[in-house]
Amino acid sequence: MFMNNWAAIAEYVQNQLGADKTGHDFAHIQRVVNLAKNIVKSEPTADENIVVTAAYLHDVIDDKLVDDTAAKQKEVQSQLHKLDYTSKDIAAVMDIITHMSFSSNLKHHYSLSIEGQIVQDADRLDAIGAIGIARAMYFGGHFGDVLYDPKQAPRTDLDKKHYRQHTTVINHFYEKLFKLADLMNTPVAKRLAQQRTAYMRNFVQEFKDEWHGHH
Ligand code: ADP
Ligand code: NI
């Protein structure tokens, strides 16, 4: 019965995000759902239906993608209601998708449910490693950011005010991507994040060596 619901939710999300060109496309959603399904296997207390539902819906209400987030939240709630989710489950999903983003946790850390911690880990894993490198380049290109500026010292102090001020794509690794491994909630995600972060550190080192003609 879950399976049918997930297919209906996937279709709804695909229609919502279809045209996104900033790295929040449906392929990102699919990867986050798969990572979340993987992590939940090692977290027996977590409710898989809440995890998968929130993973599908986590970007649909993002203020970067929709103007009226309150209206979009209502729409998501009524979609879930139509699919016979209980009020309690709808509340659990909404709590996750309204609080899990990196930017909304910059100022105050929000205590997510175990289901929310899993979806947050899955979303953050998809921002690092080879996929993370590709998404950062794609995002930077979309907004016209330069790749790198060796005169600029890496800026790592990221607060809410500065988060949307674009620096360089390489700087994004210092302001966010290298930090994510330490912020993972679950043991499975921590292990995956360490591998992916080592790969990114190699990449940035190699990038700088080539930039400066060292090899
Ligand atoms: P969140 O939803 O957690 O706030 P974002 O929407 O900012 O995350 O990030 C979406 C994707 O775009 C991620 O892969 C992220 O690393 C990348 N990204 C965000 N900001 C930048 C930036 N200034 N330069 C390069 N990539 C970025
Ligand atoms: Ni996401």
Q: Which amino acid is at 170?
A: I
Q: What is the pLDDT of residues 92-102, one digit of tens each?
A: 999 999 999 88
Q: Which residue, 45, 78, 108, sits at the end of a domain? A: 108
Residues 149, 66: one domain?
no
Residues 7, 98: one domain?
yes
The structural domain count of the chain equals 2
Q: Pick from 99, 105, 101, 120: which is nearest to 55 by CA?
A: 120
Q: Which domain holds residue 206?
A: 127-215
Q: Which of 163, 172, 179, 203 to mutate to test the pocket of ligand 1 (most atoms within 8 A of CB)?
A: 172
User: What's the predicted TM-score (pTM) here?
Assistant: 0.93
CB 150 within 8 A of CB 212: yes
Strands (E), 72-131: none
Residues 96, 137: one domain?
no
Q: Which two tokens stand for residue 60?
A: 């649909």
What's the complex ipTM?
0.94
DSSP 32-56: HHHHHHHHHTT-TTS-HHHHHHHHH
Position in ligand 1 atom list of the atom nearest CA 126: 14
Q: Is 68 left (phi over 0), alpha (psi -120 to 50) or beta?
A: beta
Q: What is the pLDDT of residues 86-134, one digit of tens each?
A: 999 999 999 999 999 887 787 788 899 999 999 999 999 999 999 999 9
* Centre of ligand 1 from the C-alpha of residue 136, in Å: 7
Closest C-alpha residue for ligand 1 atom 14: 127
